[in-house]
Amino acid sequence: MVLAWHWGQRQNRGEEGAGASLVESAIFALFGLLMAFSFSASQGRFEERRQIATHEVNAVGTAALRLDLLPVGARTEAKTLFISYLEGRLGYLAGLGSGANISPLWAQNQSHQAQLWNLAVAQGDPARPNAVHNQLIPALNEMFDIATTRHQATQNHMPPGIAFLLALLAVLTAWMAGRALGARSGWVLHAAVYAVVVVATLGIILDLDYPRMGLIRVDYADAGLRDGEAGAVQRAHA
């Protein structure tokens, strides 16, 4: 904006036609509209992640209670596997916030899922369903499905093309604003306000889109999983 202001001081603003003003107005309107849609989409993705996290906590709690339906011989092993699964989930979620490679962590989660599932399926004859098949297996299935849904949601972000267009329009509108202020006094305050508002808005959009790396976060929901892990440990030693 400072460069554009210096350049604007050298121009005779009075010689510009209405066409130039119309183009500038259209670009500013496009930028505002794109920011509004991007903010709305990022907020929607944030809310979706928050709801999925809450659903996972509920599903984990239900599955933990229904492990008691297993026969005594398999119950201890199942609770040990369940605790390992929750530890793996917490490690996976922590990896999201640190920017680490989550592929090995997700593979570990799937391995724990397979072990739990095989153990539950082995407890009874599928031809004669019992409480394990009717209650525990559906609970495990829901817990695993929500984990997969949450994994997919973490990959859902603003398309790179839109992010590039936002950055391009931010620079372009800053140039036009600085040029327009070139012939006016008090331009520093106007330029500062414009820059702060645009940067803050774009920052919030990115913050909502990456809710484990900024100020707006969803990792508080992990406390529910930690509580579930603590409860599972307590029941395993009861």
The pLDDT tens digits of the residues spanning 31-42 come to: 999 999 999 999
Please give the model's pTM, rounded to 2 decimal places: 0.78
pLDDT score recorded for residue 17: 47
pLDDT score recorded for residue 96: 82
Buried b (16+ CB within 10 A) or exposed e, 144-154: bebbeebbeeb
Closest among 129, 132, 130 to 140, alpha carbons compared: 132
* Residues lower than pLDDT 70 in the chain: 1-20, 124-129, 180-187, 236-238
Closest among 2, 12, 4, 25 to 179, alpha carbons compared: 4
The pLDDT tens digits of the residues spanning 143-179 come to: 999 999 999 988 888 889 999 999 999 888 888 877 7
pLDDT score recorded for residue 97: 75
pLDDT score recorded for residue 193: 83
pLDDT score recorded for residue 8: 47
The per-type count for the chain, helices as H runs and strands as E runs, is: 9, 0
pLDDT score recorded for residue 126: 65
Residues ≥6 apart with Cβ < 8 Å to 169: 27, 30, 31, 34
pLDDT score recorded for residue 7: 46
